[in-house]
A and B are shown apart, each in its own frame.
Chain A
Amino acid sequence: MIKKVVVDPLTRIEGHLRIEADIENGKIVDAFSTGTMVRGIEIIAQNRDPRDVWAYVGRVCGVCTSMHSLVSVRAVENALGIVVPPNAEMVRNLMLGALTMQDHITHFYQLQALDWVDVVSALKADPKESAAIAQSMSAWPKNSIGYFTEVQQKIKKFVESKQFNIFSNAYWGHPAYKLPPAVNLIAVAHYLEALDIQKEIVKIQTIFGGKNPHPNFLVGGMACAVNIDGPNAINLERLSWVFQIIKQAENFAKQVYLPDVLAIASYYPEWTKIGGGLTNYLASGDFPMTHFNDLGSYKAVRGIVRDMNMSVVEEFDPMSHDGLVEYVNNAWYDYPQGKNVGLHPSVGETILNYTGKTPPYDYLNHNEPYSWIKTPRYKGMPMEVGPLARFVVNYAAKNKPYVELTDRCLKKLNLPIEALHSAVGRTLARSMECVLISDWMNEFYQQLVDNIKKGDYRMFNSTYWEPSTWPKKAQGFAVCEAPRGSVAHYVDIEDKLVKRYQMVVPTTWNASPRDPQGQRSAFEASLLDVPVHDAAAPLEIIRTIHTFDPCMACAVHLYSEDGKHVHQFDTF
């Protein structure tokens, strides 16, 4: 008998996400992913000054904040033929790197870890054992018995106060938890540690962009002028601060985050075979070392890998009208050309047309449009994007830093390369990426300082700042690797204003509904065959979906077939 389970809301980057899954004989046999909120930002971006649009579209997401702003200024620069100075390119890399590190760390500890870590079990741990294990993993200075004892005391008081707050109503004791108490204690200690470090890392964005969330960007470069002999600009005090934060972040990534993921992964061997999903991967590449237009200088390469075949990297061309299209057949949008055509984003439309059930409803009808997310396809294929996609594509492209780190980590876990295509693989890729970026942050910083040392203080190219210098019509696009995956923006400028603005965001790729061929996107595909130990407590669904990093802590609503509540749990 098929049991229907509704998971709503499963909040994500832009807002609200709903999963409906069918469970039969202890396994998921079908799943539907629904974005239940729309704001129409692409419509709002129209008729604005293209130099302003970074601020408008930046508000798409406040969690991986700043990435939409970055890709937006790149798209407008692409349209107007603006080349930004080397310093600005490095500052942008530093801001993207800082955000990615902060976001990965926050995601793993604050949002995802408790799918794998049992907080209550940590009470039973022997702090001595935790210290011994932690010391064997890394040289992190806090790996002491005293430290773990103190953390355990804190948890104890927390539990004794009977005010479990955000930890309440979770599945403590669920058989899907496999970690021994000592490892649980380490993870909980680092949960608290991560809260502090994430606040530090974003300060890099504040130094260059003035605030976080939502730092400022500028078409043509960056607004933070360099003056090493002035008190009111980027000077050595500011740069040294940035360097200090990079070191802090690097230490945490290398001595805490990656070792923790490796330790936890080693207790979940079965999850290296579950949750793989599509095994088609798309990466747009990022972190240019010279200029954004110089694809060859990217730290992370662009390309696609299909069907788990890592011997071939195919080209990804974001401007290929035959290659990249978005469908609205299962989404609450219309295209003037009809419901079943696919449009390239550069000619895309955003016309809202809600045809779903009138709220309140218990179930959506999946035989008709069921989401606010469009369905993107590349050469007809659904693709996964995100850290795992970046690792698979770069590994296949034999990008050395990726290959070395991946091999090293898989060797430690005694796993084959195929193990990447799984829930654990996705989680591991995110932590490995944090380590890679921490190395690159040092390089970006050094390159910025070296360039300033040479006497190049430029941070902004004013050549095409004035609208009078622009052509009557211009079209541009740009991509970016946001923490959650590839983002592409497309802009049409006409008579000094934005005529059309379209975005293809990571969640569009991963969480979209089915295409006209009935093919599932990443979320829906990854849930197939996932075992569910107890349909009333499907921790496994949350665990799988969270490996995609669906953003903030999620409250998950579950309904049985007759609309009655089945169970509740806390995914924080």
Chain B
Amino acid sequence: MNKKGKTFYEELMAKGYSRRQFLKFCGLMGGMLGLQSTGVAQIVEALETKPRLPVLWYHFQECTCCSESFLRASHPVIEEILLELISLEYDDTLMAAAGEQAEWVRAEAMKENYGNYLMVVEGAVPLGSPGYCTIAGKSAKQIFDEGAKGAKAIIAWGNCACSGCIQAAKPNPTQAMPVHKLNPGKPVVNVQGCPPIADVMAGVITYYLTFDKLPELDNTGRPKVFYGRRIHDTCYRRPCYDAGLFVESFDDENAKKGYCLYKMGCKGPNTYNSCAIIKWNNNVSYPIQSGHGCIGCAEPNFWDNGPLYATLPAIEGFGIETTATKIGAGLTAVALGGVAAHAIVTNIQKRSLIKNRTDDISLNVEDNQEYCGELGKRMDNLNKKIDLIRKDQLTYLGGGYRPDKPSDEPKN
């Protein structure tokens, strides 16, 4: 408790790190956050001069994969950062916390840092019965409410805290709730994924510490800096998609060539995450690179968004790329013309989708189910429009060969 006022920089120096290592970390974070060099300087300054961020870390209904992911942080300094960048006042998994003294530590940390601490939550909170998750004889909800009261902001780690994840999947037997549905009355950042990528977790905290504000969020509460682009748009197999080159069955000749996994149910086209950019476990791979489609784990309610291996158009509420497939199938005789048309409608639709998602940045007011239903309606309307456009395009293309025309596609 006697560590108030020490900055992250001083902390690192005290731990025997060099200034060079410190700057390297700042550069890395800046790079990850997409900042210019002035932005990096801001990070350096903030970490040098600001006291460490008090953090209280809670665990509820979860499988601890978020903490495990955290341990796999790729940069050598990050590993220490995760323990030192923040001033971990309370963590019912990592820290000593027992009976009255634990309560004292928690109460003291909340009191001393009232209104200033960051509450981080791993796991969902069951509302079905207070007995579904208890810690030291208290219900998860009670412990959550106490923590949220004095928090400046809340970071929800992983899909459990962001949208309920596995335990909230139908029929949600314990009525597991994500953080934002518990009405914490505080800003919430959803660091999505099952689990989130460790470097993303560190990046969100650094952003908050550096700029004294939460990163800009999308309409599901995720930081745009890491969740602003679809996996589909950043995937190294994307050219195969655009060229109509698909894996038709796992382990077929196309799979061996590394073609697009779209037809194997890849959810990359409607999943926003950094897997294809930052990759996993120190840039080793990501699901698609290892031959399996994305399962969409950074999206709300992904467990109930249809079977994993169903190609996306079949998914209720989403109509993404449906026309692309139809065109591809309908124009096999004139394959290249088909591909061109395919690319055009794909991008038309993508533009609208991205626009829909970014226009509406209102955190915690969206009910996810309603949101999906609304999105479904928008997509239906969009599909109708695209059907019209497709007819036009097909007339225009005439099924002919137009190798120089892919640039016709509307710019986003």
Contact = CB atoms under 8 A, between A and B. Distances in A.
Contacts of B101: 565, 567-568
A59 B84 CA distance: 29
Interface residues of B, number: 93
B167 A40 contact: yes
A213 interface: yes
A212 interface: yes
A8 B136 contact: yes
A202 B250 contact: no
Interface string B19-62: 00000000000000000000000000000000000000001111
B308 A51 contact: yes
Given A49-B307, A210-B280, A214-B195, A62 B131 contact: no
Contact of B72 (A8, A14, A212): A212
B258 to A, nearest CB: 2
Given A63-B68, A568-B101, A354 B131 contact: yes
B290 A223 contact: yes
Contacts of B171: 43-44
Nearest to A355: B131
Interface in B54-103: 59-69, 71-74, 76, 79, 83-84, 88, 91-103
Interface stretch (B110-118, B137-145, B148-156, B377-385): B137-145
B165 interface: yes
Contacts of A354: 129, 131-132
B137 A37 contact: no
B397 interface: no
Contact of A65 (B59, B68, B83, B251): B68
Residue among A198, A233, A551 having the largest count of chain B Cβ atoms under 10 Å:
A233
A214 B61 CA distance: 17
B135 A8 contact: yes
B127 interface: no
Given A9-B136, A55-B295, A211 B95 contact: no
B131 A358 contact: yes
Interface stretch (B8-16, B209-217, B323-331): B8-16
Given A11-B93, A199-B71, A565-B99, A44 B167 contact: yes
Contacts of A555: 91-98, 102
A36 B250 contact: no
A232 B93 contact: no
Task: State the main secondary structure of chain A at its contact with B.
Answer: loop
A572 B96 CA distance: 8
Interface string A219-238: 01111111100111100000
A38 B280 CA distance: 29
Interface in A189-247: 195-196, 198-199, 202-203, 206-216, 218, 220-227, 230-233
A71 to B, nearest CB: 15
Contact of A218 (B66, B102, B292): B292
Given A8-B137, A52-B309, A166-B94, A210 B250 contact: no
Interface string B164-198: 01110111111010000000000000000011000
Contact of A55 (B63, B131, B172, B308): B308
B69 A213 contact: yes
A99 to B, nearest CB: 11
B376 interface: no
A348 interface: no
28 contacts: A13-B63, A37-B132, A41-B166, A44-B170, A59-B165, A62-B195, A63-B65, A166-B88, A199-B281, A207-B284, A210-B290, A210-B291, A214-B65, A218-B250, A221-B251, A224-B290, A225-B251, A227-B258, A354-B132, A357-B137, A360-B138, A361-B137, A555-B91, A555-B102, A557-B98, A564-B100, A565-B99, A568-B101
